[in-house]
Amino acid sequence: MKGLSHNLRRLACMLLLTLSTAALGQTRDFDYRLSPQQVADGVYVLIGKTEDFSLDNGGDIVNTGFIIGREGVIVIDTGSSKRYGEQMRAAIARLTPLPIVLVINTHHHPDHFLGNQAFAVDTLAALADTRRAIEAEGAGFLDNMYRLNGDWMRDTEVAIPRRTLTAGPLEAGGRKLELVALGGHTVADLAVLDTPTGTLFAADLVFNKRAPTTPHAEIKRWLQSLDQLQALRFNRLVPGHGEVTTGTDAIEQTRQYLQWLDQTLRDGAEQGLDMTEMLALTVPDKFAGLAEVRTEFRRSVTHLYPAAEQAALQRGR
């Protein structure tokens, strides 16, 4: 019953969108125009826009990547929709005839796993907590993504990864990887280091010139994870959002923003500010260059201020 009404609602949504698109005389070809950039030997990334989800970008706001090993291909995150997954798969096939042997979801946010359907189900893999979180929250994300991205989402369903990954070295497709199990952006965030080239896929633990998102964040743990990433030896870093970088600048930028955010929330609660007063605060110029920073700050207040308020009220006892 629930599934039926879900589908009906989605159908109604799509119909409305189709009609309104038709009314505006727009046509879309639903082609993300993915162009893999080679950043190291056998290592490719697909850089998404540093925007929020929209009917225009169809959810192409995330970085994904793949590594072509000696015997097979490793995919790191699958994008926001079935169409994205399919187009990513086609882009890989244009570069190599090798089979895709492992598809990693770095964490349970929808822009990182909703392309899973395009890949063989027994190749889908994630940390145990990520698998559980996709199972628990995937359907809710999906509804929201249809609303935000419209027909780009057509036929997208949640495909839960079957394989469980654990921290440590892993060989796949004849390629040596190091899996670094961290957390703080979500309950579980997996960074992947391609050992031969020193390319670090840092997942959404690192944002580059784009404000971090925090719907499931635990900032203290996130900051610890950034310290661990910084201690790794890598030649280049692929952030979850924003351009690839060779240094630790994006880690530092993410750290400074999160520290400021955390301090601002704690200070506000300690001064007795109401949430509406917090929402009206201005973001310092220092962070003005981060894409979407005003929007993300307001979201973060909604997500994280209640815990800061509770702590401040407890201290008042």
Q: Which residues bind another protein (CB under 8 A)?
A: 144, 147, 271-272, 274-277, 279-280, 298-299, 302-303, 306, 309-310, 312-317
Q: Tell me how far apart the alpha carbons of residues 21 and 24 are, in angstroms, rounded to a whole number.
A: 5
**Residue 49 or 147: which CB sits closer to another protein?**
147
In the complex, minimum distance from the CB of residue 252 to another protein, in angstroms, rounded to a whole number: 27
The answer to whether the beta carbons of residues 88 and 78 sit under 8 Å apart is: yes
The answer to whether the beta carbons of residues 89 and 100 sit under 8 Å apart is: yes
Q: Tell me how far apart the alpha carbons of residues 3 and 266 are, in angstroms, rounded to a whole number.
A: 41
In the complex, minimum distance from the CB of residue 301 to another protein, in angstroms, rounded to a whole number: 8
**Residue 35 or 271: which CB sits closer to another protein?**
271
In the complex, minimum distance from the CB of residue 299 to another protein, in angstroms, rounded to a whole number: 5
In the complex, minimum distance from the CB of residue 167 to another protein, in angstroms, rounded to a whole number: 31
Q: Tell me how far apart the alpha carbons of residues 191 and 106 are, in angstroms, rounded to a whole number.
A: 7
43-46 and 64-68 as β-strands: parallel, antiparallel, unpaired? antiparallel
Q: Give the list of residues 6+ apart from residue 108 with CB closer than 8 angstroms, or none.
A: 126, 130, 133, 134, 137, 138, 186, 187, 188, 216
In the complex, minimum distance from the CB of residue 309 to another protein, in angstroms, rounded to a whole number: 6
**Residue 25 or 316: which CB sits closer to another protein?**
316
The answer to whether the beta carbons of residues 78 and 119 sit under 8 Å apart is: yes
**Residue 228 or 302: which CB sits closer to another protein?**
302
In the complex, minimum distance from the CB of residue 241 to another protein, in angstroms, rounded to a whole number: 18
The answer to whether the beta carbons of residues 47 and 241 sit under 8 Å apart is: no
**Residue 175 or 185: which CB sits closer to another protein?**
185
**Residue 15 or 311: which CB sits closer to another protein?**
311
In the complex, minimum distance from the CB of residue 155 to another protein, in angstroms, rounded to a whole number: 22
In Å, how far are 72, 263, 270 from 308, measured between CA atoms? 47, 10, 8
**Residue 75 or 145: which CB sits closer to another protein?**
145
Q: Tell me how far apart the alpha carbons of residues 47 and 169 are, in angstroms, rounded to a whole number.
A: 26
Q: Give the list of residues 6+ apart from residue 230 with CB closer than 8 angstroms, or none.
A: 248, 251
Instruction: Measure the CA angle with vertex 315, ends 282 and 300; round to 5°.
Output: 30
Identity (one letter) of the amino acid at 42? G
State the DSSP code for 291.
B
**Residue 250 or 273: which CB sits closer to another protein?**
273
In the complex, minimum distance from the CB of residue 235 to another protein, in angstroms, rounded to a whole number: 38
How many separate helices (H) and strands (E) can be counted in the chain? 8, 12
Tokens 């635990």 belong to which residue? 218
Q: Tell me how far apart the alpha carbons of residues 150 and 15 are, in angstroms, rounded to a whole number.
A: 10
**Residue 38 or 144: which CB sits closer to another protein?**
144
In the complex, minimum distance from the CB of residue 58 to another protein, in angstroms, rounded to a whole number: 18
State the DSSP code for 203.
G
